[in-house]
Amino acid sequence: MRIVVRSLLMACAVSALAPQGVLAVERVVAPILTTADARDAKSYAQPLVARVSHIDLDLTVDFASRTIGGVARLDVEAAPGASAIVLDELGLDIASVKDGDGRDLVWSVGKNDAELGAPLTIQLAGARKIVIGYASKPQARALQWLEPSLTAGKRGPYLFSQGQDINNRSWIPTQDSPGIRQTWSARIVVPEGMTAVMSGERLTPGGEPAGEGRRAFRFKMDHSIPPYLIAIAVGELAYRDLGPRTGVYTEPEMLDRAAYELADTEKMVATAEKLYGPYRWGRYDVLVLPPSFPFGGMENPTLTFLTPTFITGDRANVGLVAHELAHSWSGNLVTNATWPDTWLNEGFTTYFENRIMEALYGAPRAQMEADLDWGEMQADILEAGGPTSDGTKLYGETGGQLAYFKGAVFLRTIEATVGRVRWDAYLRSYFDRHAFQPQTTAGFLKDLRANLIKGDATLEAKLALDRWAYDGGLPPNAVHVKSEALARVDDQIAMFEAGAPASRLSAGTWTTQEWQRFLNNLPRKLSKAQLDDLDTTLKLSDSNNAYIRSAWLELAIANRYEPALPSLEAFLTSIGRGLLIRPLYAGLMKQGDWGRPLARSIFEQARPSYHPTVAESIEKMLSAT
């Protein structure tokens, strides 16, 4: 059954006045997909009955209580006869729910689920604006509160959010589903001397007085976005331009290093536009966070969040920046409608990232990164149960990073089959057709058939679309891009295995990617003499490159190499990026009586510095028998 809400198709104009570098846009309420596969099992919302179209936040950040509290005003679009709207909430302290005229509305919170939270049902009584007074809890899953000691400057506290995938319901009462796109605005009050940034147009970059030693910062986002992309950070921040529409925020102590690493950001934006069409978000700024940030990056619109672990002084890891930028098309512009469709975000973006890297830095570098991804994908397939496992499907809950790597190989295989020129033309038109809309796997395949295959039965058979999307493993037409540079590293691995000392390796010229290939492909069992040689010669335990050090520590753990334990403890208590630390805890747990006590002891020290979602996942790992 399809319910059409007339007002969902209407748009309202917004002010044409916008700061330089920001696009003035028409606020449009994004459509709701009505196909069965677009039903979001991770949300209690019933958007075809009543949906949130806009959120206006007026909130105060309280570091003492570790809460964000104030008022959320929600604009509601409702079908005729709709009596209630259902929101998602996760542990919010709700004080009041009123309509736009200040009249109390009847509301209730349903049964709580540890992962999903609870449904917040509000009786509309004809209201089309809802005003909710509330506060987050100190343990809100989206928010990480850092003590001054965990920042670079160590002078003041720091706050940042991580909304993906369903964490924002712990600090914003809304319909927390990627298929229910919403515009938003915000006024954020913080202590004097601190700066608030959010993933929208920054209306008051320097803030404005808010009384009692506080400042207020205002933001807006006139494009409809999935709510997981509403993000906030508060701290002692400095800013530097990188180009006419790009810049970097970070702590003052990190600004020079971050700006150096990010020097090509403006070029990346221009390169991405040449590939797949205009950048539609105005500015592209980045925020380099403290080390406890749980991911490599988060593609929050207008303000990508980045881990500092990508800063290695040689710009070898700026593929991470290219990845988050590519999300401005695949993920932010066209978004997975449900979380089993994640590959539509991550697989597309991993492919797009590689194309940006090729255009800027040449084919050899892009080939090296694609080849590394292929190796990671093969490892993920094995970890997920092998090529026939349901865990290796693109559509569904995939393990590891399969949504990234298998998705990218799928798109690369289409490119190789139809040719780059034809494929690029299709992709650009795809982003245009579905801009600011959700998408499902079935919807993408339908679009491919209508606008690329166009009834060509031979091409349909060659592409094997359904097998790629819905079956486990890799179809036989999968394209493996191979790197000559990594092949030379493989020769070095064989040489070391045959007994050559580490001093004969050409490691002094290796990039981060070549180091990863070397360390990850060495046999998991080496003699102590070999490990001593590697560590003494190559200074692996002392490496300031987080990617190299993590790979080395995985190998050290597999061999119970105790000389690396001080480095391991220092690493796990100073880095919070899940990609780099989870394998180390998992490796320790596999080492039984030797490793498990170490894992639990180090985690006890490190837990306060980890994001709640990372801490929770590691705690589950450590409690498993």
Q: Concatenate the DSSP letters of all residues of 376-392 into one string.
A: HHHHHHHHTTSTT-GGG
Contact of 191 with 214, CB cutoff 8 Å: yes
Residue 293 host element (H or E): none
Q: Alpha-carbon distance 525 to 528, whole Å?
A: 10
Q: Are residues 412 and 479 in contact, defined by beta-carbon separation less than 8 angstroms?
A: yes
Q: Is the peptide bond before 75 cis (omega within 30 degrees of 0)?
A: no
CA-based end-to-end distance of the chain: 47
Question: Distance between CA 110 and CA 69 in Å, rounded?
Answer: 22
Identify the active-site residue in 404, 426, 547, 561. 404
Task: Kindly name the residue from 89, 236, 299, 324 that is annotated as catalytic.
Answer: 324
Residue 23, token pair as written in the block: 């696009």
Question: What per-residue string of b and e applies to 313-327 under the rule 16 or more CB within 10 Å gives b?
Answer: eebbbbbbbbbbbbb
DSSP 178: T
> Rounded to whole angstroms, how far apart are CA atoms 122 and 440?
29
Structure tokens at 91: 């542990």
Kindly give the residue spans of alpha helices, DSSP state H, lying in 219-307: 255-261, 265-276
Name the one residue in this structure whose structure tokens are 């975000």: 345
44 is catalytic: no
Q: What single letter denotes the amino acid at residue 381? A: I
Instruction: Return the closest-CA partner of residue 232 out of 274, 182, 170.
Output: 170
On the CB side of 540, CA atoms within 13 Å amount to 31
Max CA separation in the chain (angstroms): 80
Q: Using the structure block, give the residue that is written with the tokens 């970059």.
A: 205
- Residues whose CB falls within 8 Å of the CB of residue 235, separated by 6 or more in sequence, listed in order: 146, 151, 156, 157, 158, 159, 160, 194, 195, 251
Tokens encoding 21: 């570098």
The residues, ordered by sequence, that sit 6+ positions from 343 with a Cβ below 8 Å of its Cβ are 336, 394, 395, 398, 402, 403, 404, 406, 407, 441
Active site residue 404: yes
Active site residues: 324, 404
